[in-house]
Amino acid sequence: MPLDLISGKPLIYHTKADGTPIIYSVGINQIDEGGLLKKDRNLGDWVWQYTLPDDFNSSEWRE
């Protein structure tokens, strides 16, 4: 996992309650707010999210 440019620690990764993966930095305020996304980038965390397409069928997924 790459390092967070703000904290110098690894970026934070987890899955939300619905199973969506989320990766985030603690952001400028250096407070881990659990992936809280705010319009003002000086507040909240810096979040990267990946959302699967609505028509994605996991039973058809293959390596």
Q: Which of 24, 19, 21, 43 is closest to 34 using CA atoms?
A: 24
- What range defines the domain where residue 3 resides? 1-51
Is the pLDDT confidence value at 63 over 60? no
Q: How many domains does the chain have?
A: 1
Any domain includes 56: no
CA–CA–CA angle 35, 39, 43 (5° rounding): 60
Any domain includes 62: no
CA–CA–CA angle 54, 37, 52 (5° rounding): 15
Which residues lie below 8 Å from residue 42, measured CB to CB, with a gap of 6+?
A: 27, 28, 29
Any domain includes 60: no
Per-residue model confidence (pLDDT) at position 4:
92
Dihedral over Cα of 52, 4, 35, 13: its sign: positive
Any domain includes 58: no
pLDDT digits (tens, 9 = 90+) for 5-61: 999 999 999 887 877 788 999 999 999 998 888 878 788 898 887 776 777 776 776
Per-residue model confidence (pLDDT) at position 1:
67
Q: Where residue 62 falls among pLDDT bands split at 50, 70, 90?
A: low
Any domain includes 43: yes
pTM for the complete prediction? Answer: 0.69
Any domain includes 57: no
